[in-house]
Amino acid sequence: MERNTEINIQLDWSEMDLFGHINNVAYFKYIQAARVNYCELIGINTYRPDQKLSFAVAASSCQFKKPLHYPGQIKVRTKVEWVKNTSLQLNHQIIDQHGDIAAEGIDVLVIFDYEVNAKVQIPETTRKKIEEIEQRSF
């Protein structure tokens, strides 16, 4: 199975601000899309009512490197930086259509069981999926 940790996003005219570049809030939407994509790859999500294991965002940040402009297309690349007992860190790069890094984002996610309303240990199957994607051990 192919594990695509890179997503393509078409910039939308509505994301521009008064200065003619993409608003900083949109960058967090791109990071969110990449986060959801990665979590789906490793088997944690929130859209299936039969699956109670999901995640909660403990922290999210973005370092803006250069402005994005409409029209355009970006790629968001995601990789895992570290995995602990109940949490993991995702690093994101937002790449513009010229191949330049426009922003770098970081998410810290806590694995959360919404049935018991508490954080839980990362399941071994999930850890193995992460290691398969990242091609390294955690």
pLDDT tens column, 105-133: 999 999 998 888 899 999 999 999 999 99
Assigned domain for 98 exists = yes
Q: Residue 103 is part of a domain; what is its CATH number?
A: 3.10.129.10
Number of H helices, E strands in the chain: 2, 6
> Which residues partner with 64 through β-bridges?
103
The count of structural domains within the chain is 1
Assigned domain for 1 exists = no
49-86 pLDDT, tens digit per residue, is: 667 789 999 999 999 999 999 999 999 999 999 999 99
Number of Cβ atoms within 10 Å of the Cβ of 27: 23
